[in-house]
Structure formats: C-alpha cells, structure tokens
C-alpha cells in the first residue's frame, strides 16, 4: 500500500475517534428533568 | 408571576456568580413532585470536553433563575450531588416521555417538558404534553402539543404523571395563553375553560 494511503487511513481513524469522543461527551452533558420526593424539612427543602 | 421557562431549556444555561464568573452549566433540573418546586440542578463543566461535575446546585443557593443564566452568590454555593439527587432517584425519576394520566384514570398524553417559574420562585406551574386527540377537540394532528396546569394533587414518577382531571379543561397552546389559564385554574376556575 502506498504511503499516502496509510496517511488517509490514519486521518480517517483520528477523525472517527474525535467524532465518537465528542458524541460521548455530548451524551454525558445532555440533561433531563428529574422528579423526586422530599419529606418536609428533609434535604433539598428551602 | 415571574417569567415562565421550559425546564429543558435550562440545560446548558451557565451558572454565574454575582462576581461574574461562570463556574458550571446546568445539566439536569430536579424538582420535588409533591411540593411542585425545583430542589436543585446537577451540573456539568463549561469546557467542550468536560463532563458531569461531582458538585450540584441546591435551589436554596440560587440567587435568581433567569432566561440566560442561573445566578449564585459565589462558588461556595455548590454542594455534593447526592444533596440534590441520589443516583437511584435520578434513574427512576425521569419525567420526560412519561405517560400523563388524570386522577379519573384517563390517559391524556405524554410529558414533553416541565414549565417552571423563574426568578426566586422555582415553582413548577405546569407541563407541556403531547396530548391525545380526545383532549384537544378539533385538532387534526395525531399528537397536539399543549400546556396543562400542574394542579394541587400530583403524583409523578418516571412512568406516569397524574394530574387532576379538572386541569385538562385549562390547556393552552402557547405560554402567554398558559399564564392566563394557570391564573384561572388557581383562582377557583373563574376563567374561560376550553
């Protein structure tokens, strides 16, 4: 295989790793809405 | 009434100290189902590659909740995440996409979002739901998106949200109309129900 083909493989692999990393990070940072039940005077109450 | 905001829109809002430092951003919004109030927020870091933080923001430490930032006095306001929500609670209490049932046992839709009051209130005033056709008469859409008041009696979990059947008479298509409907609902239903 020619040297430039190896270069293409390496670049594609790096781009793939970057895309996966950013996607995982986006998933970890994505939020939701959570309902909990607190006893009066318990933690989280004002 | 302070400005109403969708809880999902709070995600990624920066947490800013009164000194002007952005110390984190909002990840999850946590609310007390029985009291109908926000109890706090879980946080993630500000950087592109930063993940969830081990610290969270209890509601009593919030100076003000605005449309563009959550203001706190200083970074010392942050607390350990279990103070706001335990891991098990976080897994079981996700309300988005939960079924919406009335206290009479009718399914009226699924939860799309939770409407909260900003400022220093943190009150949960209602829900945005994908309503079934029977709830919104005349709509040609299979799932019509409407706002419905929270009501006083409420049970909510990751599986189902239970609202008073009476609350379904006060649905609104948009937030400005919803403000009027919430007022009518709480003033002994003196408005013009649909």
Residue B194 has pLDDT above 60, yes or no: no
Quick: pLDDT tens for B18-45: 999 999 999 999 999 888 899 999 999 9
pLDDT tier at B9 (50, 70, 90 boundaries)?
A: very high
Distance CA B153, CA B43 (A): 30
Same domain, B50 and B119: no
Same domain (yes/no): B181, B117: yes
- Residues of A with Cβ-Cβ distance to B33 under 8 angstroms: 35-37
Q: How confident is the model at residue B192, as a pLDDT?
A: 47
* Domain assignment of residue B32, yes or no: yes
The residue in chain A having the minimum alpha-carbon distance to the alpha carbon of residue B30 is A34
pLDDT band at B166 (very low <50, low <70, confident <90, very high): confident
Q: What interface predicted TM-score (ipTM) does this complex get?
A: 0.82
The B-side interface with A (CB below 8 A) comprises 7-8, 10-12, 25-35, 37, 39-40, 42, 44, 48-52, 58-60, 83-85, 89-90, 93-96, 113-114, 156-158
Residue of A nearest to B121 (CA): A46
- Residue among A22, A31, A35 whose CB faces B33 most closely: A35
Mutate to test the interface with B, among A18, A34, A43 (most CBs of B within 10 A): A34
Residue B192 forms part of a structural domain? no
Q: How far apart are CA A32 and CA A19, in angstroms?
A: 23
Q: Are residues B72 and B17 in the same domain?
A: yes
Same domain, B88 and B103: no
B124 within domain boundaries = yes
From CA A11, how far away is CA A3, in angstroms rounded?
13
Q: Which domain, by its residues, includes B156?
A: 99-186
- Which of B8, B34, B115 to mutate to probe the A interface, most A CBs <10 Å? B34
Q: Is the pLDDT of residue B123 over 60?
A: yes
* Whether residue B73 is found in the same domain as residue B151: no
Provide CB contacts within 8 A for B83, sequence distance 6+: A43, A44, B40, B56, B58
User: Would B172 be classed as within a structural domain?
Assistant: yes
Listed residue (B60, B57, B63) closest to B80, CA to CA: B57
How far is B97 from B160, CA to CA, in rounded Å?
Answer: 9
Q: How many distinct structural domains can be found in chain B? A: 2
pLDDT higher than 60, residue B54: yes
Domain closes at, from B61, B92, B123: B92
- pLDDT value of residue A30: 86
Query: Cα–Cα distance between B43 and B26 in angstroms, integer?
Result: 5
Q: What is the CATH number of the domain that holds B77?
A: 2.30.30.240
Given an 8 Å threshold on Cβ–Cβ distance, is B89 in contact with A34?
A: yes
Q: Which of B40, B59, B92 finishes a domain?
A: B92
* pLDDT band at B15; cut points 50, 70, 90: very high
């Amino acid at each position: 295989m020619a040297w430039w083909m190896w270069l293409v493989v390496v670049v594609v692999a790096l781009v793939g790793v970057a895309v996966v990393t950013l996607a995982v990070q986006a998933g970890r940072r994505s939020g939701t809405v959570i309902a909990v039940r607190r006893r009066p005077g318990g933690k989280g109450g004002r | 009434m302070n400005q109403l905001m969708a809880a999902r829109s709070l995600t990624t809002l920066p947490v800013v100290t009164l000194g002007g430092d952005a110390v984190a951003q909002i990840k999850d919004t946590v609310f007390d189902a029985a009291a109908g109030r926000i109890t706090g927020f879980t946080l993630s870091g500000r950087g592109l590659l930063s993940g969830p933080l081990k610290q969270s923001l209890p509601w009593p430490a919030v100076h003000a909740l605005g449309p563009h930032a959550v203001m706190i006095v200083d970074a010392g306001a942050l607390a350990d995440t279990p103070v706001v929500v335990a891991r098990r609670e976080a897994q079981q209490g996700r309300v988005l996409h939960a079924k919406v049932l009335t206290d009479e046992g009718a399914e009226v839709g699924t939860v799309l979002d939770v409407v909260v009051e900003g400022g220093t209130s943190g009150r949960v005033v209602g829900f945005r739901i994908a309503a079934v056709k029977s709830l919104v008469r005349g709509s040609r859409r299979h799932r019509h998106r409407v706002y419905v008041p929270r009501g006083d009696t409420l049970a909510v979990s990751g599986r189902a949200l239970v609202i008073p059947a009476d609350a379904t008479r006060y649905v609104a298509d948009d937030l400005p109309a919803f403000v009027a409907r919430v007022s009518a609902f709480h003033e002994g239903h003196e408005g013009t129900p649909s």
